[in-house]
Amino acid sequence: MAQASRESRIRIDLAAAFRWAARLGMHESIANHFSAVVGDDGSRFLLNPVGAHFSRIRASDLLLLDATQ
């Protein structure tokens, strides 16, 4: 799978996980997060932005972070 389509799929799945967590009532606390590794070496990952309510997170809202920078 191409890296761009892999990242896109992971973004969609992670956003869905946030929304399901909200539906199940697991969203009411401070500074919680989910993350997902994107790169093969584990240095790039997606993370939700601070303050975003789990029920409103979209794939495009997720931040792509690089642990090597």
pTM over 0.85: yes
For 10, the domain range is 3-66
Please state, rounded to an integer, the average pLDDT across all residues of the chain.
92
Predicted confidence (pLDDT) at residue 1 exceeds the cutoff of 70: no
Q: Mind listing the pLDDT tens digit for each residue in 2-56?
A: 667 999 999 999 999 999 999 999 988 777 899 999 988 999 999 999 989 999 9
As a whole number of angstroms, the distance between CA 45 and CA 66 comes to: 7
Residue 44: per-residue pLDDT: 96
Question: How many domains does the chain divide into?
Answer: 1
DSSP calls for 21-38: HHHTT---SSS---EEE-
Residue 36: per-residue pLDDT: 97
- Distances in Å between the Cα of 59 and the Cα atoms of 15, 25, 69 are 5, 20, 23
Q: Quick check: 46 and 66 in contact, CB under 8 A?
A: no
